[in-house]
Chain A
Amino acid sequence: MTPAHGQSLGEIWVYLAASPLLGLTLTLLAYQGAVWVNKRCGGHPLANPVLIAVVALVALLSATGTPYRTYFDGAQFVHFLLGPATVALAIPLHAQFGRLKRMAGPLLVALFAGSVTAAFSAVLIGKLLGASDATLFSLAPKSVTTPIAMGIAERLGGLPSLTAVLVILTGILGAVGAQGLYRLMRCRDAAVQGFAMGVASHGIGTARAFQLGEQAGAFSALAMGLNGLLTAALLPVLLPPLMRWLG
């Protein structure tokens, strides 16, 4: 089909698919569609907006044979905002500083317990079920925020881009599962809820925690930052001997 102005629909698609505009627009559309679905489901944690948007985009890109790199040329503008958004977490953190300071001791102990549990239970279970070493090293830092996790995986000998994916999946799992776990544990303190989500599931857990309230969000942001620092310090020291011991 050739319209009056010259270019066929196929050519237009090829042109648009290669420009950053399409990847960016699709990301915003998919996310807003996902938020709409989430609202229709009464905000149910299983209808997680990141999960829905990612599934929709992967399906669309696979169906049209568009490579991830082409998509990311456009989506990188959204991805870039992660930096300033991380800096902006200082503001809710500051607003909750009084309570954070009062709880400093318990927070640090809980952080250590949760951080070690997250990394080593993942490696042990993966090893037990026969995952390859590259997968195990990529799995170990999955509870911390993407850029830190990728750096740790690289130092350990894992695959940083696989780690990025495992980090996102972990975040979605934490965001989806946390409230059910809190109900089972009868845990109602917003500070405790937020902090545990931040330790286990970094920024996506924090995004979910902000939906529960500013206090949960601030505690989650703090946990995310601290767990990033702690895991970066602990894993390169502790994991290689553990892996040798496991054989």
Chain B
Amino acid sequence: MNLRKNIRLFIRVICTVLLFSFSASDIFAETAYDFRKKVIDRYEGEDSNSRIVMKLQKIIHSKKDGGIKVKAERERKIVQYRKAYGKDDKIVMFFLEPADVRGTGFLSYVYDDSEKDNDQWLYLPALKKIKRIASGDKSGSFMGSDFSFVDVSDIKIDEYKHKFLTDGDLKGLLKEKSVQSILKKKFGKDGFSKAKIWLTTGGMKVVESIPVDKKILKDNGYSRIISWIKPDNLIIEKTLYFGKNKRAFKVRETIKSEKIQGIWSFTEMNMENFKKKHRTIIKFDDTKYNLGVKDSYFTQRTLERGL
């Protein structure tokens, strides 16, 4: 009798454990979609202000160890204010350096609705006129850098299908020629072991995002985006971009991120285009949040008169 009871209990325990483990991966577990959404919706303050140093570099990698030699560089210093209006953003930027473009300003209204083109105005101090710039191109470069508008403002969650990648999946990536070629350039001939480590999850969650239709592919210019995300602070540590031709060509890496006023912020990141042998380093200095930036900052008047 006792034995029978024990067996029954044992079976019940086993069943519960099994049931629990199933539900853990099936029902209760966070999907890649939810996780990626969390990253996109991460709170970044009502408004912010930062000084941006942007370095545009033509580079070559040493064939041996991938070490970078900068062949030519352009540096721009910009002051930026951003304010959230629901899901839309308003941004105003002024160039501080180089000296001959000081005072040149951009005002952008970035709309969440992908059907709606962003509005952009420009002020050239030498011309003393405000001009509206209309451009439908979102895959285009952000301020002439290697970042595109999409890269800077992150993707829209429903435009992509998302999936977690395991270490095994990442190992499989190594078989792709374009990935091999990028890693070979990045780490050089002697850096294969480093490259292999680079292509692991490394304790992060790795999400693969693939555009839902051809239009998104065309608009944003990516056939696949793989993002390495720190699960604790939801900072995207690195991103591998695949072009329309399905080949990997760009890598974004977070060099430095810190917690400012309780908000995790990028303070330095870079984007390298391996096809163009070009790299952009962006540094955000003195980032401040929730300053109560006035709405009047984001008007054509401010653009003309300066901050």
Q: Indicate, yes or no, whether A interacts with B.
A: no
What residues make up the interface of A, taking CB atoms closer than 8 Å to B? none
Taking beta carbons and an 8 Å cutoff, which residues of B are in contact with A? Answer: none
